[in-house]
Structure 1
């Protein structure tokens, strides 16, 4: 049974605040958020779908080309009452839009750009989203760790990427960001897109995984043979910075205050200014990061928010996705397997 969802009520209330008669949503992240998982995509890497939702104060209309509408109606989730209008694939969607003061999550002439406001409106995960997040995080971690355990020197970064992608797609997970760096490429590049480079001794794997609109991110490091003392020390230092950041991520604090603590942690552990070499992450949800936290980021940390920090030192990175609940931070990208962990204490808080 479909009903008036709380998300739709929030969005329709926001129309009054934004002084709009209606709102056109076409971005896949916003569609997935409002519908609890629909995407309306055909081209996998496209930011926008092939259909839109037009929201007014008292109704919602699905707008789609006539060649796309049947499948969307039959297979995509719709948790609230929604009408629909179609138009010929060779015509513009403008033919089914009324006149008025409208907003859009894309930059369109004559429409108010509401995408920044939509990102803010999306914050806060409901019970259904939290369950979906936990399942996605566990599965994504099992996939990366499962592939990592089977690696042997000589395999190429391309082949590692292919193994991860195949495992993800088989369970309905989209590998939206798969980064693989072998040996010297770990230090050389912060976002190492896979190449034909063959693994010799060490590899860093990063996965950004999406399912039903939700995203988790995680990184795992694999080393063959005995760890050098200097590398072992850098891994421990990066883990300590990560623990500091997690400890600073508390409900009610401003994002800018958390970022100030991030820079202070790098300094405390002997890496003053190294935070400048790569972004540190931020809240996740319907994007790998809904936004990247900096010193000028506005707003406060809220409960029921997923957060993925990724402190990075030369040659090492710590990255997992957590959910901030009333009871504290919960690691979403923790598999049930015995992947090696570093456990650190910050006051009464334990991180591993």
Structure 2
């Protein structure tokens, strides 16, 4: 059996520490974020809305991977890394009962993924160098897809036509379109605008969440056809200041929940209603899940160095969103396209609206 890659060897060490800390012999990885992370970004889905078609039992003596028999050939030929013992079940069999497909599991205390969910998030939080490079390229590609689509669009383009262009762009760069949102001028009050047949009109927002190699890039961009409305420009500048408050507060070791008071205070500090933060989620750590997890009261996670984040503060008619990485020198934006106009906010280039 081939040795695992250096990255997966480090991931295995991290999972074994979770086992030691919780006094169990093994953990069954079965969620999309956990399985794809552990298998070096393998595509272990068929339906984007369905569960993975693989699970991994990680124990102290090795890794056991199980797939339905009808999926095994593709996964082995195209997706799976080396260093795994493989097992198969019938297409109608269960991946979640390891004792049925590997007898050795019967002698082990096996933890469910749910039992150690927070420690597993911590295990994948700090991106390894290869992961960070792959993530940055994905984020740049996603930003370029938005630039291309919004440079192509016109006021008469419908939201669905724009969504089709965005989806095609993501697929062309090898990414899976997990989220594609578009709102024209008549629907800008909606925070999650699923596309309709309505035209974009004088101003529009587009959002993509694209997954490649298991990692997910999250990006929002705005386009307007004509000069800026002063009130809209002011709101866009102020929402960037809300984001800047959160970016300035990020530091390794900080309890993630400590950022919630920062978010709450940022809205009224920059001229928005004090309850605005309650009207939409504010983002959180990113990577192998869109938010891993969302910032919310009581989250137990810590902030890690080399961890990715996507914050998405919003108010009626304005929103800002990029995927960033917290490194030893601070925050660096990953979802960058040099063709996109920027505004300088506290020493960082942040996306402005594209004027057409």
TM-score by length of 1: 0.91
Residue equivalent to 1:213? 214
1:75 to 78, 83, 94: 78
Aligned pair in 2 of structure 1 residues 6, 223: CA closer, same or farther (>3 Å)? Answer: same
Query: Which residue is 1:168 aligned to?
Result: 170
1:133·1:214 contact (CA, 8 Å) conserved in 2?
yes
How far does residue 82 in structure 1 lie from its aligned partner after superposition?
1.3
Q: Is the 8 A contact 2:244 2:345 kept in 1?
A: yes
- Which residue pairs with 2:321 in the alignment? 319
Matching residue of 1:61:
64
Q: Note if contact 1:28-1:39 (Cα within 8 Å) is conserved in structure 2.
A: no
CA distance in structure 2 between the partners assigned to 1:61 and 1:74 by the alignment: 17
Q: Deviations over 1:264-296 (max 9, x none)?
A: 111111222211111110010101110111343
Taking structure 1 as reference, are residues 268 and 72 closer, same or farther at Cα in structure 2, changes over 3 Å only?
same
The counterpart of 2:101, out of the listed 77, 96, 116, is 96
Aligned match of 1:296: 298
Contact 1:308-1:321 within 8 A present in 2 as well = yes
Aligned counterpart, 1:149: 151
Give the 3 Å change call, closer, same or farther, for CA 127–227 of structure 1 in structure 2: same
Which residue of structure 1 aligns with residue 45 of structure 2?
41
- Contact kept? 1:29, 1:39, Cα under 8 Å: no
- Backbone CA RMSD of aligned residues: 1.7
Structure 1 residue 31 and structure 2 residue 35: aligned? yes
Describe the superposition over 1:43-71 as per-residue Cα deviations: whole angstroms up to 9, x where unpaired.
Answer: 2222x211211221111111122222122
Query: 1:313, CA displacement in angstroms?
Result: 1.4
1:101 positional shift: 2.2
1:89 alignment partner, SS class:
coil
| Aligned counterpart, 1:158 | 160
Preserved contact between residue 118 and residue 300 of structure 2 (Cα < 8 Å): no
Alignment of 1:120-135 (within 5 A): 120-135=122-137
Give me the whole-angstrom Cα distance separating, in 2, the residues matched to 1:295 and 1:14: 24
Aligned partners of 1:207, 1:317: CA distance in 2, in Å?
Answer: 13
Name segments (4+ residues, structure 1) moved above 6 Å.
none
* CA positional deviation for 1:351: 4.4
Q: Is the 8 A contact 2:256 2:300 kept in 1?
A: yes
The correspondence of residues 104-119 of structure 1 with structure 2, limited to 5 A, is: 104-105=112-113, 113-119=115-121
Deviates more, 1:235-244 or 1:126-135: 235-244
Quote the Cα distance in structure 2 between the aligned partners of 1:265 and 1:90. Answer: 51
CA displacement 1:74-119 (0-9 Å, x = unmatched): 111315x21112222244444314324212236xxxxxx3333322
Report what 1:109 is aligned to: none
8 Å Cα contact 1:239-1:342 kept in structure 2? no
User: What is the rounded CA distance, in whole Å, between the counterparts of 2:299 and 2:49 in structure 1?
Assistant: 27
2:12 aligns to what? 8
* More off after superposition, 177-186 vs 251-260: 251-260
Structure 1 window deviating more from structure 2 (9-18 vs 145-154): it is 9-18
SS at match of 2:245: helix
Q: Which runs of 5+ in 2 are unaligned?
A: 351-356
> What residue in structure 2 maps to residue 270 of structure 1?
271
Where does residue 223 of structure 1 map in the other structure?
A: 224
Aligned to 2:240: 239
Instruction: State the distance in 1 between where 2:43 and 2:52 align.
Output: 7
